[in-house]
Amino acid sequence: MALSNSQYEAIIKGYQRTRDENRILAETRRQKVYETVPEYRRLEESISTLSVAGARRMLGGDENALARLHEELAEVTARQKCLLAEHGFPADYLEPLYRCADCQDTGYITSGNGLREKCHCFRQQEISILYAQSHIQDTIERENFSTLSYAYYRDDDLRRFETAVDISRKFIKDFRENYQNLFFYGTVGTGKSFLSGCIAGELLKNGNSVIYFSASGLFDTLARYTFDGRLKDSLHDLCEDLYSCDLLIIDDLGTEITNSFVTSELFSCLNERHLRGKSTLISTNISLEELRDRYSDRIFSRITSGFTLCKLTGPDIRILKKRLSNAAAT
């Protein structure tokens, strides 16, 4: 499944708007510095004079000309930084502005083999368009580590949630270095999807590609593409994205209608991502016993042996919040 021409052009135009906005902002900042610190501008203008003088010395056979030029330019740069600091400007105030420093807001990077390829920020925009990831985007804006609260948990429930939070933070911290998987399970409304959103939000900010699917949405999509011969190419692209994205989140496993097709596709997905060393996060309201009974032994073994298991218990926080809100209103 590929972007349409109009979708591709919309992304490219978005990068162009970002570059234009940052260029205007950078020029506005530069003019502000010029007005506030006239000496900064004089130093900037002196760079070209120093460079021309250095070139002449090199052409004249001065073997130390280049080293001397580097020293002079370093002195100018150091003085400029001091001037910015003295007048209350951040040290990086006039540095180039990029939303994505890796591709410098072009959408493309040059790989190690010299080929031009889509940047991770472009890929995430593709994912958002192709797989309707609006739910997870909306979720992480509302629910993230800044809104995390322990107030709704007590005793063992609190200890389990604290452990899950610690594991989630470590998962994020070690994400690029260590292949790891997470399995959140337990009673309804205890923070499983919340922590999934926290993890997704942090990894997206760090430039990782994340695909989110509810279990029912994932298997419905796979079934539609599998049994419609016209969507053969789209099925291949979907599977490739599912297997290769940095993090795949499968939310509410067990809410789908479980059958042999679902079991087969779930194992294929987990196994292929394991072979590629790509992390998977699963949340579910079913118990480990139900997991074993509902799915194949291979899936049960894959999850219990290859995932960090986090059990969450306690009251349904969504209902609890609503009750507290109603009580406060009366």
List, in order of start, the domains of the chain with CATH numbers. 131-324 (3.40.50.300)
At residue 183, the pLDDT reads 98
Measuring CA to CA, which residue among 144, 284, 125 is closest to residue 201? 144
Contact at 8 Å (CB) between 303 and 177? Answer: no
Confidence (pTM):
0.78
d(CA 181, CA 249): 10
Adjacent-strand bridge partners of 108 = 118
d(CA 200, CA 208): 9
* Cβ neighbours for 237, distance < 8 A, ≥ 6 positions apart: 1, 2
At residue 316, the pLDDT reads 86
At residue 38, the pLDDT reads 94
At residue 327, the pLDDT reads 66
> Quick one: CA dihedral 246, 252, 254, 260, positive or negative?
negative
Measuring CA to CA, which residue among 269, 249, 242, 253 is closest to residue 181? 249
pLDDT (tens, 9 = 90+) of the chain, 330 residues, equals 578 889 899 999 999 999 999 999 999 999 999 999 999 999 999 998 999 988 899 898 888 889 999 999 999 999 999 999 999 999 899 999 999 999 999 999 998 888 899 999 998 898 888 877 656 777 788 888 999 999 889 999 999 999 999 999 999 999 999 999 999 999 999 999 999 999 999 999 888 999 999 999 999 999 999 998 888 888 888 999 999 999 999 999 999 999 999 999 999 999 999 999 999 999 999 999 999 999 999 999 999 999 999 999 998 888 877 776 666 666
At residue 1, the pLDDT reads 59
At residue 159, the pLDDT reads 96
Measuring CA to CA, which residue among 248, 183, 251, 173 is closest to residue 206? 173
Contact at 8 Å (CB) between 101 and 179? Answer: no
> Quick one: CA dihedral 214, 220, 223, 227, positive or negative?
negative
d(CA 270, CA 215): 13
d(CA 213, CA 128): 11
Number of other CB atoms surrounding residue 194 within 10 Å: 27
At residue 135, the pLDDT reads 65
Helix (H) or strand (E) holding 255: none
Give the position of tokens 């016993």. 289
Contact at 8 Å (CB) between 189 and 315? Answer: yes
Contact at 8 Å (CB) between 162 and 262? Answer: no
At residue 328, the pLDDT reads 64
Measuring CA to CA, which residue among 97, 79, 119 is closest to residue 207? 119
d(CA 269, CA 248): 10
